[in-house]
């Protein structure tokens, strides 16, 4: 009896501390030849590693859930630079269990959906979804909760008017408060439908490059009443969308976006477009349709090389409170029409001064009218404020190709219009903060690393600002990350200051200089300066 008791105690302790989490290996030479062999055995905390440079059968369903503390990870391991490919079936991969991270795969050939999402707290990253004849990535009307897509490329998917490269929804009854987040993705060259269509409760579309849809690049609307679960009503929640720092490029003459509804489900929602670079065709950029409450647009560049941009079509809009379009500091091509009358500070010209429009480089060139012309603090309309707006933009879209890590938006005191910031002559580091009592953090800045110096405030004060005399240590030379630790405490009555520069050629000065002269000569002259 005693022996039996001890064994049970041991087992329950093991489960509680998670030491039973298992790593499964899948590959042509592994114990498990495919994902189907392991999907039914997964438990919270488990990791599945799938060998790359091999093709696996589609039709895999993940139905067993992880937990918030112990997610299940399905990870493709590149071999010879190649991700594992999962190919074919009706649904190539189906995520039906909660708390999964799915990363490092290439999905193709699913006759209905290459990636079928109907679960909660899902992360899909570092994956390519292509040549899916119907939907590329689809979130179901029911069972879908929060989903993050990042570093995902989608192309040659979609068909006709109702099948899309990315088609998302969330279940407002069973997963209230869910968010569809999409960032650092590259969606291009559709074969039908919209590039990104979402009926989610809230959309956060940040820092993506989206181009070449058959129809809209972005269609952000309400849930489909025909697909929503029991208990759902249109008034249950208002669906809002925050669209920041994206490239939206129309390669034909259809509308860039449709907001509100599509005749099957309307949001009555609030929409916010900030610091996007939008290349339009002849149709309206903002096609407002069915129930919609408000749209605000700030710091966007809206361009059409062949002439003016048709900004808005609202004849089909059903405004909940009358037409509500606010905005500031947008740049539009000369001759643009239907500019919202409430916009302020609109700029126009024949060319936005991109580095190379035909070469897909939409960063502003020297002398661009976009430079330093953004509104540094765009205000949301008082009557229809946008909740939790993302600002200022901190990253940039992937440059017409998906990247492994996001590119930091260069920090400049004067914000440029559009999705890209022209780097200031000398890179400054901003956003210094304590993330814990001993960890100093800052915003990323272009460069290969960071130098961090520490000095004594009392010396700085009595020397009337002599940094050469005040710096007492180089905490980090060419440190690779955006954090540094210093557990030491200053003597009573004194304080330490910390300054960071991007290595190798950045400055210790602030991005918005609030000091009389550059700090650099003094700091570099200190005996303790970072090399």
Residue 470 vs 484, nearer CB to Ca ion: 484
Residue whose CB is less far from Ca ion, 222 or 260: 222
Closest approach of Ca ion to the CB of residue 450, in Å: 7
Query: What phi-psi label fits residue 71: left (phi over 0), alpha (psi between -120 and 50 degrees) or beta?
Result: beta
Is 481 near Ca ion (CB under 5 A)? yes
User: End-to-end alpha-carbon separation of the chain, Å?
Assistant: 69
E strands present in 28-108: 47-51, 55-57, 60-62, 72-77, 85-87, 91-95, 100-103, 106-108
- The site map against Ca ion for 411-450 (x = CB under 5 A) is -x-x-x----------------------------------
Distances (CA, A) of 127 to 65, 75, 102, 103, 187: 21, 10, 8, 6, 12
**Among 249, 199, 253, 179, which residue's Cα sits nearest to residue 418?**
249
CA separation, residue 198 to residues 140, 162, 257, 381, 438 (Å):
11, 12, 12, 24, 42
Task: Rule CB under 5 A: say whether 7 interacts with Ca ion.
Answer: no
Q: Closest approach of Cβ 393 to Ca ion, in Å?
A: 12
512 forms part of the interface with Ca ion (CB under 5 A) = no
User: Rounded to an integer, what distance in angstroms lies between the CA atom of residue 474 and that of residue 486?
Assistant: 11
Our finding on whether 477 is near Ca ion (CB under 5 A) is yes
Give 236's DSSP letter: G
Min CB(414)–Ca ion separation in Å: 4
Q: Which of 451, 460, 502, 508 binds Ca ion (CB under 5 A)?
A: 451
6 binds Ca ion (CB under 5 A): no
The smaller minimum CB distance to Ca ion, of residues 321 and 478, is found at: 478
* 328, 484, 507, 526: residue in contact with Ca ion (rule CB under 5 A): 484
Residue among 323, 372, 380, 441 that touches Ca ion (CB under 5 A): 372
Query: Is beta strand 439-441 parallel, antiparallel or unpaired with respect to 433-436?
Result: antiparallel
Contact call for residue 290 and Ca ion (CB under 5 A):
no
Residues 399 to 418 in contact with Ca ion, rule: CB under 5 A: 412, 414, 416
Query: How far is Cα 79 from Cα 27, in angstroms, rounded to an integer?
Result: 11
Q: Transcribe 108-165 into DSSP letters.
A: E--SSEEEEE-SSSEEEEEEEEEEESSEEEEE-SSS---EEEEEEEEEEE-BTTTB-S
Residue 127 or 241 with smaller CB distance to Ca ion: 241
94 is a contact residue toward Ca ion (CB under 5 A): no
- Are 299 and 374 a contacting pair, CB within 8 Å? yes
Q: According to CB under 5 A, which one of 419, 475, 503, 529 is a site residue for Ca ion?
A: 503
Closest contact distance (angstroms) between CB of 445 and Ca ion is: 14
Quick one: CA dihedral 187, 191, 196, 200, positive or negative?
negative
Choose the stretch contacting Ca ion; rule: CB under 5 A; options: 28-36, 215-223, 312-320, 337-345: 215-223
Taking contact as CB under 5 A, which single stretch among the options 8-16, 213-221, 344-352, 470-478 is the one that binds Ca ion?
Answer: 470-478
- What residues make contact with Ca ion under the rule CB under 5 A? 222, 234, 372, 412, 414, 416, 451, 477-479, 481, 484, 503, 530
């Amino acid at each position: 009896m005693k022996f039996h008791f001890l064994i049970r105690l041991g087992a329950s302790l093991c489960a509680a501390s998670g030491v039973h989490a298992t790593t499964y290996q899948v590959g042509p030479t592994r114990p498990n030849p495919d994902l189907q062999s392991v999907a039914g055995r997964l438990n919270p905390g488990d990791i599945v590693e799938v060998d790359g440079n091999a093709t696996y059968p589609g039709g895999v369903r993940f139905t067993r859930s992880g937990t918030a503390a112990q997610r299940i990870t399905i990870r493709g391991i590149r071999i010879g630079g190649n991700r594992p490919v999962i190919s074919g079936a009706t649904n190539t991969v189906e995520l039906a269990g909660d708390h999964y991270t799915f990363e490092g795969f290439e999905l193709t050939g699913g006759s209905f959906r290459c990636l079928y999402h109907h679960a909660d707290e899902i992360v899909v990253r570092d994956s390519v979804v292509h040549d899916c004849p119907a939907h590329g990535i689809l979130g179901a009307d029911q069972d879908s909760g929060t989903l993050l897509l990042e570093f995902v490329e989608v192309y040659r998917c979609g068909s006709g008017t109702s099948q899309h490269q990315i088609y998302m929804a969330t279940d407002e009854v069973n997963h209230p408060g869910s968010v569809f987040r999409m960032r650092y993705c590259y969606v291009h060259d559709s074969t039908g439908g919209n590039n990104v269509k979402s009926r989610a409760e809230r959309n956060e579309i940040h820092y993506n490059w989206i181009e070449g849809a058959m129809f809209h690049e972005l269609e952000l609307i309400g849930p489909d009443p025909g697909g929503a679960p029991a208990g759902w009503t249109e008034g249950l929640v208002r669906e809002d969308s925050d669209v920041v720092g994206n490239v939206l490029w129309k390669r034909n003459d259809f509308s860039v976006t449709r907001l509100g509804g599509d005749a099957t489900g309307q949001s009555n929602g609030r929409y916010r477009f900030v610091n996007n670079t939008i290349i339009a065709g002849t149709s309206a950029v903002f096609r407002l349709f069915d129930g919609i409450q408000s749209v605000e647009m700030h710091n966007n560049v809206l361009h059409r090389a062949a002439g003016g941009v048709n900004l808005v079509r609202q004849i089909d809009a059903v405004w909940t409170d009358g037409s509500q379009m606010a905005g500031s500091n947008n740049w539009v091509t000369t001759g643009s029409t239907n500019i919202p009358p409430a916009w302020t500070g609109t700029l126009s010209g024949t060319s936005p001064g991109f580095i190379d429009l035909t070469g897909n480089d939409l960063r502003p060139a020297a002398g661009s009218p976009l430079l330093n012309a953004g509104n540094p603090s765009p205000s949301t309309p008082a009557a229809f404020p946008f909740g939790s707006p993302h600002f200022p933009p901190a990253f940039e879209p992937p440059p017409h190709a998906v990247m492994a890590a996001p590119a930091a938006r260069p920090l400049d005191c004067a914000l440029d219009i559009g999705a890209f910031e022209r780097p200031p002559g000398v890179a400054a580091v901003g956003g210094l903060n304590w993330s814990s009592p001993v960890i100093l953090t800052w915003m990323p800045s272009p460069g290969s690393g960071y130098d961090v110096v520490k000095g004594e405030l009392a010396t700085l004060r009595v020397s009337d600002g002599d940094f050469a005399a005040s710096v007492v240590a180089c905490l980090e030379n060419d440190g690779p990350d955006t954090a540094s630790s210093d557990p030491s405490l200053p003597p009573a009555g004194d304080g330490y200051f910390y300054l960071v520069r991007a290595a190798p050629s950045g400055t210790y000065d602030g991005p918005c200089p609030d000091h009389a002269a550059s700090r650099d000569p003094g700091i570099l002259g200190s005996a303790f300066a970072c090399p």
